[in-house]
Amino acid sequence: MDEARRPERGPRGEVEMGGPRVWPVLSAVIALSTITRFHRLGEPPHVCWDETHFGKMGSYYINRTFFFDVHPPLGKMLIGLAGHLTGYNGSFSFLKPGQSYGDHSYLGMRGFCAFLGSWLPPFGFFVILQLSGSLSAALLAALLILLDTGCITLSQYILLDPILMFFIMAAVLSMVKFNACSGRPFSTLWWWWLILTGVSLAGALGVKFVGLFVVIFVGLNTARDLWRLLGDLSLTLDVFLRHLAARVVCLIALPLALYALIFAVHFTVLNKSGPGDGFFSSAFQSRLDGNNLHNASMPEHLAYGSVITLKNMRTATGYLHSHWHLYPEGVGARQQQVTTYSHKDQNNFWVIKKRDSDYDPTGPLEFVRHGDIIRFEHKTTGRNLHSHQREAPLTKKHLQVTAYGTNGTGDTNDFWRIEVSGGRSPVKVLRSQIRILHLSTGCVLGSSGKTLPKWGWEQGEVTCSPYSRESLSTMWNVEDHENPRLPNISVSILKPSFLEILLESHVVMVRANSGLKPKEHE
């Protein structure tokens, strides 16, 4: 390349980004990038593609309504903040693609995504300029990003992609600039680019878990850099340890702290009950204003005649659920389906009844105790929780669970024995961890964690496991509890700590992400 067209380098090899040959080209890249991203930003004036998800989630933040998503929260929080600052009040429903925005202010959220997307070509320009020192190569790289129609399109809608790409590109640029400062360790610029790399890593991972790839990329580069420093005999051990400590603080501790801060803000803002409650444990739900468990008041001890919901303690599995639909032909007995369902629903309610069918509900009140043999009658359909010697739909080594009978009348396969963890009696709402053993077969009611095909409405599979070992999948707790014969008292719920809810939220996200793989049984 002609020497007149090569950007100037600093005394230690870093490219002078503000040189006279660079600024005119860079200014043109920034201008063209901004124009292409913001051109006709308001068209089409209706919901497009995944705007129905991320626009709605931005509305949840504005309304402070708790929801669940498989991605970390930073991208949605920024979308909600952009909408709030530009006059959007969170009232649009985002029901489906094609829905007209009407008079609702949506350009602020699209504009925010377009603004971040418009930085991708300049970032690419800087990265290649620093690595190659060639202005022509840098311009070519910028043009490839600038004129890519897919990149332009993704930047013009309310999506996570431009936010994620912004942080990924920022992390790579910061890493490259930090490497260029290696001749001036511990200088102001050296610290600036190292810290900015850590901040960008936290941002990328805070938008989507796929940001982990750039974390690995930077980690490998850092490991190579430290290996080079370790082999430099001109460095003392003290200096090497300072290098190591700087990278641990800025590239590990700082990103982790910022990542945790993102979730702290997320949990603080979303303090109202919403559609994501059922994915989380009862203890988690107790911290949400408006949730029936927040400052809960209900009968403390479970009694016969109570109407309850049973929540599986395997995080993200949901509530014991049934509905009028039957298992299809060829899937065990053609009886009523029993599933787990993560959302609160009237079909989650069950009535606790004694083993004896002639039990008088107006007689003396009796509490449910460890070792009792009971029946669960589905409140909506009047059929009893039931199991038998037929294999489960997906987990073939387990037995099928159905709802059977009419108006509470069934057979001996409707009997279940209650086992309270620790043998404590009587059963306490929310606090007691219980196992439910089928009397005839000896199997244990549980959730396999698998998702049923479309005939099961893609709800969770409930099975009766012949393996008696205790696990979260076979442990349940009573969440909702109604009994007009018992006094309601304030139930003291131990609210989880921040670290506990942070861990639980990640378990839920990881399991939900693993459930996104293609179904085998459709």
Question: Could you tell me if residue 157 is inside a domain?
Answer: yes
Q: Could you give the CA distance from residue 336 to residue 347 in angstroms, rounded to a whole number?
A: 12
Q: Please, are residues 349 and 283 in contact by the beta-carbon 8 Å criterion?
A: no
Residues 380 and 451 in one domain: yes
Question: In angstroms, rounded to a whole number, what is the distance separating the alpha carbons of residues 162 and 112?
Answer: 9
**Judgement on whether residues 360 and 236 belong to the same structural domain of the protein:** no
Q: Are residues 265 and 327 in the same domain?
A: no
Is 67 found in the same domain as 197?
Answer: yes
Contact 252, 260 (CB under 8 A): no
pLDDT < 70 stretches in the chain: 1-20, 315-317, 357-359, 361, 470, 472, 491-494, 515-522
Q: CA 112 to CA 158: how far, in whole Å?
A: 8
CB 510 within 8 A of CB 315: no
User: What is the pLDDT at residue 12?
Assistant: 46
Helix residue ranges per DSSP H, 324-450: none
Token pair recorded at residue 445: 């009611």
Distances (CA, A) of 8 to 12, 27, 284: 11, 18, 57
Q: Do 340 and 238 belong together in one domain?
A: no
In this structure, the answer to whether residues 43 and 123 fall within a common structural domain is yes
Q: Is 18 inside any structural domain?
A: yes
Amino acid at 434: I
Query: What is the predicted pLDDT for the residue at 11?
Result: 47
Q: Residue 317 has what pLDDT?
A: 67
What does the angle CA 290 – CA 308 – CA 279 come to, to the nearest 5 degrees? Answer: 50
pLDDT value at position 343?
Answer: 85
> What's the distance, CA 232 to chain centroid?
44
Same domain, 331 and 225: no
The answer to whether the beta carbons of residues 491 and 45 sit under 8 Å apart is: no
pTM of the predicted structure, to 2 decimals: 0.77
Cβ of 241: how many Cβ atoms within 10 Å?
11
| Residue range 276-326, pLDDT digits in tens | 887 887 778 888 888 878 887 888 889 999 999 999 887 556 899 999 999
| In the block, residue with structure tokens 């009535």 | 351
Q: What is the mean pLDDT of the chain?
A: 89
CA distance 144 to 121: 8
Is residue 359 in a domain? yes
Q: Are residues 58 and 183 in the same domain?
A: yes
- The verdict on residue 280 lying in a domain is no
Alpha-carbon torsion 79, 82, 83, 89, what sign? Answer: positive
Task: Scan for tokens 């901040």, then name that residue.
Answer: 199
Q: Does any domain span residue 395?
A: yes
Residue labelled with tokens 């980690």: 219
> How far is residue 368 from each of residues 220, 419, 424, measured CA to CA in Å?
58, 10, 11
420 Cβ contact list (under 8 Å, min separation 6):
369, 370, 427, 432, 433, 434
Is 478 inside a domain boundary?
A: yes
Number of domains in the chain: 2
Tokens of 439: 């009397």
Domain with 453, as residue range(s), is: 290-491
Enter the DSSP assignment of 333: S
